[in-house]
Structure 1
Amino acid sequence: MNKICKVEIITRSEKLNILKDSLAQKGIKGMTVSNVMGAGNQKGKTEIYRGNETTIDLLPKIRIEIITKESLLQAIIEVAKTTLKTGSAGDGKIIILPVSNVIRIRTGQEGEDAI
């Protein structure tokens, strides 16, 4: 069985559509998207809430999860890096994890056939 990877991309929610379109041009259409909250180097932001200045240290982000063949991994990384980079804190992270197996429930297919 060839290697299968899970790519997790955590980034700004306003970047989702451009990332989705860029990945689709490379033939990558399957993904799962979740709303998440997080903080990193940007250390949150200051807002006025009920007349008081408050630091919001968990900011809204999205997490995109893609299960892919290792052969498409570098293309996904390059698309994400070029599409999501603004040069500011909060651009996000790309996390690559090994996957031991994938099973499609409907058909019982396993491995790359299930992707």
Structure 2
Amino acid sequence: MKKIEAIIRPDVFSEVRQALALQGIDGLSVTEIAGCGRQEGRTGLFRGNEFEMEFYTKLKLEMVVEDSLVDDTVNAILTHASTNAVGDGKIFVLPVEEAIRIRSKERGAIAVN
């Protein structure tokens, strides 16, 4: 099993979510985060005062999938999260040693399905 973490723009979430559902990925966690990278800062306006915005709002998607679904899952995210602009995000694929469903004590791939 692998854990896939994807950091994406909030405005593409709906398309990414639909694409993941079509791949059979129903379970995922979504966290609103803020970050910075190669994207230049931008100027914001609040109550007539300008300020420099150093961090951009992003969404972090986390899901655990069977090894056989990794490529399709990553490709779905790449296809639907890309705007071809700096700041589209990142995808990380990490190994998962074990998954355990607390309620039933099931272990392994069955625990994440």
Task: Identify whether the pair has TM-score above 0.5, normalized to the shorter chain.
Answer: yes
TM-score class, shorter-chain normalisation, is over 0.9
Gap runs ≥5 in structure 1: none
SS in 2 for 1:27: coil
SS in 2 for 1:104: coil
Distance 2:8 2:83 in 1: 11
Identical columns (%): 35
Distance 1:98 1:44 in 2: 34
1:114 match: 111
Measured after TM superposition, the shift of residue 50 of structure 1 is: 3.9
Structure 1 range deviating more: 37-46 or 75-84: 37-46
Q: 2:43 aligns with which of 38, 43, 46?
A: 46
Instruction: State the superposition RMSD in angstroms.
Output: 1.1
Q: Find out whether 1:9 has 2:36 as its counterpart.
A: no
1:59 match: 56
Q: Find out whether 1:73 has 2:93 as its counterpart.
A: no
Distance 1:59 1:47 in 2: 11
Query: How many pairs were matched up?
Result: 112
Normalised by the size of structure 1, how large is the TM-score?
Answer: 0.92
Distance 2:11 2:92 in 1: 20
Structure 1 range deviating more: 52-61 or 88-97: 52-61
Gap runs ≥5 in structure 2: none
